[in-house]
Amino acid sequence: MDYLPIFMNIKQQACLIVGGGVVAARKADLFIQSGAQVMVIAPALKSEMQSFLNQNKVTWHQGVFSPKVMADVFGEQLPKLVISATDNQAVNIAVYEYCQAAGIPVNVADQTEYCDFILPAIVDRAPMTIAISTGGRSPVLARVMKAKLETMIPHGFGRLTDLVGRYRDKVKAAISSIDGRKAFWESLLDGLFIDKAVHGLDGEAEALLEKKLEQADNFEEAAVGEVYVIGAGPGDPELMTFKAQRLLQQADVVLYDRLVSPEIVDMARREAERVYVGKKSKHHAVPQEDICRMLVEYAKQGKKVARLKGGDPYIFGRGGEEVEILAKAGVAYQVVPGITAAAGCAAYADFPLTHREFSQSVALVTGHQQEGGNAIDYGRLAHSGDTMVFYMGIKNAPKIQAGLIAHGMNPGTPAAIIERGTRADQKVTVSSLGKLTETIAKQAIKPPALLVVGEVVKVRERIQNAKRFVQQAEQSPPLHRVAV
């Protein structure tokens, strides 16, 4: 984060606006709405600021900012916050330097290099407030996001927030444990209660709340743990399902793999404990048996545990092994499917896994063979004639290539290697089965990468040719018709 997002209480606190124009008035309005005592220093006031003065919302000292004026206006009691919004850069810099020396947080409008704090775009659902910031890079983009949120969040969320706040002490008195209160609110703030409160049906909403509060003893009991085995998808955070995001937000502990992107881990609530249990070939940070033990132990402590896995937990994700252990230990669990790497990476690489001209089936194959596991049946794969997707196959690419060719597969069969699939830095390398190992070495390809072998890879070139054709047509000069 570029800035620490905080909400400051400035009610009845002296705050200063330097400037009397339109921009200064917008900043003053934020102070006014926050309950501050607003002082304005400016040679003159324009219409909106003059209107604030006429309504006794601000106090005006006529003049140009200077340390002497500050002493005259504030004496020894310095303002809590200062915003300078003038069209005179010398004044703005003087305000900044004065505040820096005096230790007063200062903001010079639209000049982040002279700001201790910046003002976000605000979605006001008082007492709920949502702030959006781009770190000063693009106020317009922040306003665009504000507009989107304004349409998504009903104004009734203010009533909902107020109602919940009124009952906070009553719930605290009825349910002594923190975990119990958390479970109560999570149970309540889901569905019908929110709908009633948002639409102004306060009586019905309060009745639902009171009815839930009658079950307070149930929430005082020892918290019941649960494990959410969540497929986080192949990398792009936007490929997470709604259910995955919701359960991740409820988790007290998050155990995550190496292939789970940091942006997805950051979706967990800030208070959640994060435990890295990533594994890669010959470097097992946490052995699988220890991961299973941790899941059971955390759940037995009454915690909600999110087990985040790249892709889908039931496709080469060992989800089945972990769920079996949970079931034997009597631990409640939910499995949330995710978009597996084969589907996600192929889609982002511009080719399908099935196609009526090229492939009627897909084989998902692990390219990393566990000791004692079944060997890959290259003969069956080579004669299927359809799409093969090899997970964790970079290291064993020479064996895959040799095995398929030895069983009669055409060395000219297209092959694609997708590195860091679905992420912003995804790279797709197209080769052939016969040149697969050579291409991996020449391009210095490293895991994580997915290998796809099959005629469907040809569709990528078709799609890219179509895109190039359209781009060339758009860049070509218009034809001039000549009248004869």
Annotated binding site: 22-23, 43-44, 234, 310-312, 315, 340-341, 392, 421
What positions carry a catalytic annotation? 257, 279
E strand or H helix at 129: strand 128-132
Of 41, 29, 36, 35, nearest to 84 by C-alpha is: 41
Class of residue 71 by CB neighbours under 10 A (exposed 0-12, middle 13-18, buried 19+): exposed
Q: How far is CA 54 from CA 43, 100, 362, in A?
A: 17, 32, 74
- The strand order across the sheet containing 37-42 reads 58-62, 37-42, 14-18, 81-84, 106-108
Cross-strand bridge partners of residue 226: 304, 332
Q: Which residues contact 198 (CB under 8 A, 6 or more apart)?
A: 154, 156, 157, 159, 160
Burial of 481 (C-beta count, 10 Å sphere; 0-12/13-18/19+): exposed
CA distances from 357 to 270, 351, 364, 427, 459 (A): 49, 13, 20, 26, 10
Q: Which of 10, 258, 241, 239 is nearest to 117 (CA)?
A: 10
Among 347, 351, 433, 355, which Cα is nearest to 393's? 433
Nearest alpha carbon to residue 338 among 261, 270, 276: 261
Question: Is 176 exposed, middle or buried, given 0-12, 13-18 or 19+ CB atoms closer than 10 A?
Answer: exposed
| Contact assessment for residue 102 and residue 74, using Cβ atoms and an 8 Å cutoff | no
242-249 contacts, C-beta under 8 A, 24 or more apart: 243/336, 244/336, 244/338, 247/306, 247/334, 247/336, 248/306, 248/308
User: Are 65 and 88 contacting, i.e. CB atoms less than 8 angstroms apart?
Assistant: no
User: Cis peptide before 127, with omega less than 30 degrees from 0?
Assistant: yes
Q: In the chain, what is the greatest distance between 2 CA atoms, to the nearest angstrom? A: 93
